[in-house]
Amino acid sequence: MPCPGDRRRSRVYYRGQPGREWGIPPASGHSLTSHGPPRAPSRAATGEEGYSTRMARALLLSLLVRQHMALKEKFRAKYPHPWLVWEAGAWNVPEVVEGNVAATRLPLTDLRDCLPAGDALCFELVGQTDGSPLRLGRASNNALVVNDATVSREQLHLSPTLEGRWTVTRVAASRTVTLGGTALEPEQPTVLQPGVQLHVGDVRLTFHAAEDFDERIGRIAAQVLAQTAAPR
């Protein structure tokens, strides 16, 4: 169901299950997975313009919560890298990706803010062996595929620094991107701070260092355990 007043040409669907807090899996007895954008294939591919593209690992946030509940303090050792989280919300399915429609769930009720709760998709950030940046965009040859119609085919470049931090660069001629509310200039690398959000069209991307990502997943896992332990 499109948001009221939406004038975009693309159709709008919703990722995740309505009626849940963002990123919090349903109570026990229900599946911890939810519908969302298809995961990027785990095979290596050669991108355009000579880049060697290794698909970034992409996992549903609810799956990571389940792993945190099982691994506890070992979770950080298993996932020592930063993450970029495609937050739950409206999903503008590109017209050319008809097969993805079956992998979405329509909202069951009218939602005033048009951003029903659901699952999030988490991309693990690991530098390329050849030193090239991780490319993010709608096209399937990117390392991080965000297949939303409001995102450019190639939108952002993400690169690790020698100091262990990450920078983001908006690709020339791509759609407008804001970082913490400030518009990014094309081809100007900007250092990412933990917890900062990137906005591209209707897509929200949250950058997490390994430490605060572990804290975020841990908080959600604690909420889930509290829910399951509560008397019914």
- 109 domain residue, yes or no: yes
Radius of gyration in angstroms for the set of CA atoms belonging to the chain, rounded to a whole number: 18
15 has a pLDDT exceeding 80: no
Question: What pTM, to 2 d.p., does this model score?
Answer: 0.72
- 1 domain residue, yes or no: no
- Check which CATH number belongs to the domain holding 144 and give it: 2.60.200.20
Highest mean pLDDT among 50-54, 110-114, 216-220: 216-220
Lowest mean pLDDT across 21-35, 123-137, 215-229: 21-35
112 has a pLDDT exceeding 80: no
Report the candidate in 200, 137, 204, 124 with the shortest Cα–Cα distance to residue 166.
Answer: 124
Q: Give the separation between CA 91 and CA 11, rounded to whole angstroms.
A: 8
Lowest mean pLDDT across 22-36, 88-102, 185-199: 22-36
Domain total in the chain = 1
- 7 domain residue, yes or no: no
CB-facing half-sphere around the CA of 162: CA atoms within 13 A? 0
Per the structure, the complete domain to which residue 157 belongs is given by: 12-229
- 117 domain residue, yes or no: yes
